[in-house]
């Protein structure tokens, strides 16, 4: 499978994100740092953002948090809608190589061709997710997925106060 960047570039970014975590940043600062780093350094990650679960709402909804890229009309997403809702409700990473072919897709930008959404677990429960859109089809290969899952894992750990 084609990847968006050479593995050493991905390694470099992984180290940068690990450093932010080790510096003891708050979950909020960590999420902001991740969106900036991924959007600036990974050239095919054209929109990078977090959605966090608002549990006080009945039924719960995903609410847009830190993001980089164009403003999206989808600031609140119910769990039964979109790729975002699918990832949060199943607790599984969803990779869509061609968003036009996925009926679940909620359009954010006409330029988006592919998308990945990775759930964030806190004490075994989905509490949010990291969503990335690309203007390129099939932009998220195996190494990208591993990097993005690592970011989601660190945010989950920080939310658990680890």
Residues in the site for ligand SME, rule: CB under 6 A?
Answer: 47, 49, 72, 74, 77, 82-84, 105-106, 108, 115, 131, 133
Q: Kindly state the smallest distance separating residue 6's Cβ from ligand SME, in Å.
A: 26
- Choice between 16 and 102, CB closer to ligand SME: 102
- Choice between 49 and 65, CB closer to ligand SME: 49
CB-nearest residue to ligand SME: 82
Question: Where are any strands of DSSP class E within 8-108?
Answer: 47-54, 61-68, 76-78, 94-96
* Cα–Cα distance list, 54 to 7, 25, 47, 158 (Å): 36, 22, 22, 18
Which residues 6+ apart lie within 8 Å of 161 measured at CB?
none
Q: Kindly state the smallest distance separating residue 133's Cβ from ligand SME, in Å.
A: 5
Which residues 6+ apart lie within 8 Å of 96 measured at CB?
83, 102, 105, 114, 115, 116
The tokens describing 107, both together, are 């359009």
Which residues 6+ apart lie within 8 Å of 145 measured at CB?
93, 95, 116, 118
- Choice between 21 and 139, CB closer to ligand SME: 139
Q: Kindly state the smallest distance separating residue 96's Cβ from ligand SME, in Å.
A: 8
Q: Kindly state the smallest distance separating residue 72's Cβ from ligand SME, in Å.
A: 4
Q: Kindly state the smallest distance separating residue 7's Cβ from ligand SME, in Å.
A: 26
- Choice between 105 and 136, CB closer to ligand SME: 105
- The answer to whether the bond into 59 is cis (omega within 30° of 0) is yes
């Amino acid at each position: 499978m084609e990847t968006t960047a050479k593995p050493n570039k991905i390694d470099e970014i992984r180290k940068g994100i690990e450093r932010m975590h080790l510096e003891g940043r708050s979950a909020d600062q960590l999420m902001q740092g991740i969106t900036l780093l991924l959007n600036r350094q990974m050239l095919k990650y054209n929109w990078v953002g977090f959605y966090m679960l608002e549990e006080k709402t009945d039924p719960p909804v995903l609410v847009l948090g830190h993001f980089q890229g164009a403003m999206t009309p989808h600031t609140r997403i119910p769990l039964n809608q979109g790729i975002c809702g699918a990832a949060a409700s199943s607790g599984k990473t969803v990779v869509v190589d061609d968003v036009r072919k996925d009926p679940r897709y909620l359009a954010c930008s006409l330029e988006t061709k592919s998308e990945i959404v990775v759930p964030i677990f806190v004490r075994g429960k989905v509490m949010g997710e990291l969503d990335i859109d690309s203007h390129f089809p099939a932009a998220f290969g195996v190494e990208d997925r591993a990097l993005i899952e690592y970011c989601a894992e660190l945010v989950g750990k920080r939310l658990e106060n680890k």
